[in-house]
Amino acid sequence: MKFLLYSQSGEGCQILKRISLEGNDCTCYIQDEAFETCFDGLLTKVKVPKPDKDTIVLFDMSGNGESADSWRNQGIKVYGASVFADKLEHDRAFGFETMQQAGIKIPEYEEFTDFSHGKQYVRSANKRLVFKPSGSLPTKLTYVPGKDRPEEELLAYMNFVEKQYKKYIKSFILQEFIEGVVVSSEAFCDGEKFLYPLNHTVEVKKSMNDDLGPSTGCSGNITWATDYNRITEEGISLAEAVCVSNQYVGQLDLNCVVNDTGVYGLEWTPRFGYDATPTLISLLNMDLAEFFSGIVLQQIKEINISGYYAGGVRVTIPPYPAEAKDDHDLDALAKASSGVPILNYEKFDEDLYFYEVCLVDADATASATLIHSGGSGVIACAMGQAEDEMDCLDNCYNALEELVIPDKQYRTDLHTVLPEMVQQVLTLAEGGKNATA
């Protein structure tokens, strides 16, 4: 089979690499020039993507929905992108409207385009609020104030964001804070139906132990397959009709907060999740080519996936978790640690999902060397699987301890943090039909 990965910054390259190792014809297009060396020496790259009708195109990020829809209209098989998906992720108001259309509860919120009006709302609301900007922005800009002085804290933060990032923000919402357990629930859609089983993910975003430091996309996660339970019934399962009506083909994740009163939608992720997707596919009992082609071609009746838990821990190097404001910042950031060597990974190669890496030729006496290709400093997600959520992180930490990378950094407290989150989710999931907790 032929596959083309249409990638924004190379995040999905390791998925394509594994499809290639299964014996398929694979090519990769990376959109952002700052990441163009990602997976050099590991994948066949193209400067201009030109898929034909025999090619399955995988999109690994939101933001290219127009290209995806254009190819679909030409009869090309596409997985994981559309204008509908772009709006779900980047337009928070549209995302909430879609949740309400599906029958999913949402926290009370207001949308603003003017910071002064937003700050007036904070002063008058008399409740704890969460600040969430719309658009492709640094993840660190979403802010949840503490419970002691939430109004004062949020106003100070909004003053900072207004001064530093106002020109990058088209709108933002102020959302009621809901106390509960945060969990993501995901479904794969083939355009006509959801495929089962679904899956749950818990993750931590803070970059340092004890939830200190800036937020990131993901510092660690545990994911597992699930069918019917209270969380899926009141959450992601309700979105099937909306996805089918929009002929969406790909995966859809609903991030929600759950408590005794209900399941409340927070945001959508209609794309590969990093690091949740790499962790999840480590549980598949089928080739990745068969999996993705089966969804696009509507040839899968159910997902063949292990009943184990899978864990993932992200390893990075400085300047991560710094994030760029614009292309100039991104170019400087990408070059900051380019060339850092990555050694002693071979033993755990199948349990490492690599991100910003490439292979460079060495001298005549040595083999080629894996190095950081440049970027934000994200090297890999180390993965492990086990019957028990307490044990699925063991292999992750074994790999990370043996990896030789100058200035490597990762959270060391996830053995405790993530299994506790899993148990909270399982407890709250009880009560739905055929509950799998």
What percent of the chain is modeled with pLDDT above 70? 95
**pLDDT, tens digit, for every residue of 372-413?**
999 889 999 999 999 999 999 999 999 999 999 999 999 999
pTM above 0.85, yes or no: yes
Give me the sheet containing 341-342, strands edge to edge: 341-342, 369-372, 357-360
Torsion of CA 320, 325, 331, 335, to 10 degrees: -20
pLDDT at 368: 80
CA–CA dist 297, 319 (Å, integer): 41
H helices of 200-336, in order, are: 230-234, 240-245, 276-281, 288-296, 327-335
Task: Give one DSSP letter per residue of 395-408, joined into a string.
Answer: HHHHHHHH-B-TT-
Report the pLDDT averaged over residues 295-303.
97
- For residue 97, the surrounding DSSP H or E stretch is helix 92-102
pLDDT at 420: 97
CA–CA dist 420, 345 (Å, integer): 29
| Sequence-distant (≥ 6) Cβ neighbours of residue 29 within 8 angstroms | 4, 5, 6, 7, 45, 46, 47, 48, 49
pLDDT at 173: 94
Q: Answer yes or no: is pLDDT of 366 > 80.
A: no
The conformation of residue 347, written as its DSSP 8-state character, comes to G
CA–CA dist 155, 162 (Å, integer): 10
CATH code for residues 108-176: 3.30.1490.20
pLDDT at 435: 41
Structure tokens at 336: 């900051």
Report the pLDDT averaged over residues 252-268.
96
Q: Answer yes or no: is pLDDT of 437 > 50.
A: no
Q: Answer yes or no: is pLDDT of 434 > 70.
A: no
**Residue where the block lists tokens 């939101």:** 62
Closest to 222 (Cα-Cα) out of 315, 285, 352, 312: 312
Could you give the angle at the alpha carbon of 64 between the alpha carbons of 63 and 66, nearest 5°?
120
The fold of the 179-437 domain, in CATH, is: D-amino Acid Aminotransferase; Chain A, domain 1 (3.30.470)
115-125 and 150-165 are packed helices; what angle lies between their axes, rounded to 10 degrees?
170
CA–CA dist 391, 396 (Å, integer): 10
Report the pLDDT averaged over residues 214-234.
94
Cis before 197 (ω within 30)? yes
Report the pLDDT averaged over residues 208-215.
93
Q: Answer yes or no: is pLDDT of 334 > 80.
A: no
Q: Answer yes or no: is pLDDT of 365 > 70.
A: no
Q: Answer yes or no: is pLDDT of 326 > 90.
A: no
- Give the number of other CB atoms < 10 A from CB of residue 352: 24
The fold of the 2-85 domain, in CATH, is: Rossmann fold (3.40.50)
Q: Answer yes or no: is pLDDT of 362 > 70.
A: no
Structure tokens at 403: 């990896």
pLDDT at 63: 93
Q: Answer yes or no: is pLDDT of 3 > 70.
A: yes
**pLDDT, tens digit, for every residue of 147-205?**
999 999 999 999 999 999 898 898 999 999 999 999 999 999 999 999 999 999 999 99
Contact 17, 40 (CB under 8 A): no
| Sequence-distant (≥ 6) Cβ neighbours of residue 366 within 8 angstroms | none
Alpha-carbon dihedral sign for residues 94, 97, 101, 102: positive
pLDDT at 43: 98
Report the pLDDT averaged over residues 53-74.
97
6-15, 86-95, 181-190: lowest mean pLDDT where?
A: 86-95
**Would strands 2-7 and 25-30 be described as parallel, antiparallel, or unpaired?**
parallel
pLDDT at 325: 66
**pLDDT, tens digit, for every residue of 270-294?**
999 999 999 999 999 999 999 999 9
User: Domain locations in the chain?
Assistant: 2-85, 108-176, 179-437
**pLDDT, tens digit, for every residue of 30-47?**
999 889 999 999 999 999
Task: Kindly indicate the confidence band of residue 430, based on its pLDDT and cuts at 50, 70 and 90.
Answer: confident
Q: Do domains 2-85 and 108-176 have the same CATH topology?
A: no
What percent of the chain is modeled with pLDDT above 90? 85
